[in-house]
Chains A and B, each alone.
Chain A
């Protein structure tokens, strides 16, 4: 049972390039989330999907788009990467009646 799987684990981009971060969960969870983790800032919610077919903005959505492809997969897209988006990105999932969230290993993204 893999839980939450994120790909890739590392990526280096140039300013202006586009990139899609992939996330899949095998726990049949309804809700999925994307966070970014920056030093001194903790984790901040970018976007979330409460259930299949719905997405909503979180605390820091600017510069990102998301797609809830199906119940298992929730992708995060950077259309035109900027150095300020250098961060570690975490995907998470949770079931409807379960508040805690299961996290992936993270994607370390550097934008030059």
Chain B
């Protein structure tokens, strides 16, 4: 069974402070990990995926297979980063297209 755990329901930081949103996963095979973001009353949108090794809006995430983690980081948080963030997992290869989501972390960046 695949599972995604986001231990923090709420995270509050001040503008300019570093931010780290934690994500741990459980999966028996080789996973693909994603971060999705949902701004207030907007549709869910893909922020980044581990296979791309990209930085989007200043956010990065590294897959750590040893610790089964995929934490999302940004060195200097901005007020516009306030949103709900979801970590998600799917299996690589084969026909497993289903995403398993974590319960989400609501990030608030205070001025």
Residues of A within 8 A of B (CB): 31, 33, 35, 40-45, 48, 50, 58, 90, 94, 99-101, 103-106
B contacts with A, residue count (CB < 8 A): 21
Q: A50-B95, A58-B98 are in contact. Are A103 and B103 (CB under 8 A)?
A: no
Q: Which of B13-21, B41-49, B59-67 contacts A (4 or more CB under 8 A)?
A: B41-49
Contact status of A42 and B95, CB under 8 A, knowing A103-B43, A103-B44, A104-B43: no
The interface of chain B, by Cβ under 8 A from chain A, is 9, 32, 34, 42-46, 49, 86, 90, 92, 95, 97-104
Contact A50-B97, Cβ < 8 Å, known A100-B34, A105-B43: yes
Q: Give chain A residues whose Cβ lies under 8 Å from the Cβ of B45.
A: 103
Please judge, given known A-B contacts A103-B44, A104-B43, A106-B43, whether A42 and B9 are in contact too, CB under 8 Å.
Answer: no
Closest to A30 in B: B97
